[in-house]
Amino acid sequence: MSEAAEFVRDVADGCTVSVRVQPGARKDAVVGLHGGAVKIALSAPPVDGKANEALIAFVAEKVGLPRARVSLVSGAANRSKVLRVTGKSAAEVRAALLEELA
């Protein structure tokens, strides 16, 4: 399986997404793949959960879901995180996140 396919996995009623966050960037964007995770640059600083909130909002917007459908499963205080997306398949989420890299 390619690295691009590994960062998102189907689970019951949705999928999980492995993310590597780069906080404090100039703009919010998907910047590539990093060690089996999708790398996302965020303008929010890594303070008081601001980067986590920005990540959830960014991913929800990219995949076309309300923020309530995207949640942080692990990695709250770490650059490597796992998100759960409810209501979209792994293929749909993969396509939406990698769209701007194509």
Check: CB of residue 61 under 8 Å from CB of residue 47.
Answer: no
CATH for 49 = 3.30.1200.10
Please report which helix (H) or strand (E) contains residue 61, including its range: helix 50-63
Any idea what DSSP says for residue 47? Answer: S
pLDDT tens digits in sequence order for the chain, 102 residues long: 454 558 999 999 999 999 999 999 999 999 999 989 999 999 999 999 999 999 999 999 999 999 999 999 999 999 999 999 999 999 999 999 999 887
Please report which helix (H) or strand (E) contains residue 73, including its range: strand 70-74
Q: Give the range of the structural domain holding residue 50, as residue numbers without chain letter.
A: 3-101
Closest CA to 68 of 78, 46, 53, 81: 53
| Residues whose CB is less than 8 angstroms from the CB of residue 48 and which lie 6 or more positions away in sequence, other chains included | none
Domains of the chain: total:
1
